Amino acid sequence: MAYRATLPGMGERKLIEAGWQRYRALCIPGDASPTTVEAAHQAFLAGAAVLHRTMMAGMTDSEDIQPCEEQLMQDVVDEVREICEQLDVRMGVSHG
């Protein structure tokens, strides 16, 4: 199953945790050491934090969506989509 597929737990409130669990299942070998798993988990959470801070830094105080905010979100979507595609290739997932 592709990484970019709907995450289990999408109906839950902890979407980042659901994403971590899916990433761990797909990308981290089952025999990885606890230290490796913990380091990967911290890196995953750091990525989520950076994404959040990037998105929030680009937001204005306006109640209406501004063109710069719309562009920021599109840039984030484009980059995350590219990352997901790279993960799919790395895991040998095809969509054809």
Q: Give, for 53, the enclosing helix (H) or strand (E).
A: helix 34-57
Report yes or no: 3 and 88 within 8 Å, Cβ to Cβ: yes
For 22, the token pair is: 């899916």
pLDDT of residue 33: 98
Residue 89 confidence (pLDDT)? 86
15-40, pLDDT tens digit by residue?
Answer: 888 889 988 998 899 999 999 999 99
Q: What's the Rg (C-alpha) of the chain?
A: 16
pTM: 0.70
DSSP string, 54-85: HHHHT--S-SSPPHHHHHHHHHHHHHHHHHHH
Q: What is d(CA 49, CA 84) in angstroms, rounded to the nearest whole number?
A: 18
Residue ranges of domains in the chain? 15-90
Distance CA 27, CA 18 (A): 14
- pLDDT (tens, 9 = 90+) of the chain, 96 residues, equals 444 445 555 555 688 888 899 889 988 999 999 999 999 999 999 999 999 998 888 888 888 888 988 999 999 999 989 988 888 888 777 766
Question: What number of residues does the chain have?
Answer: 96
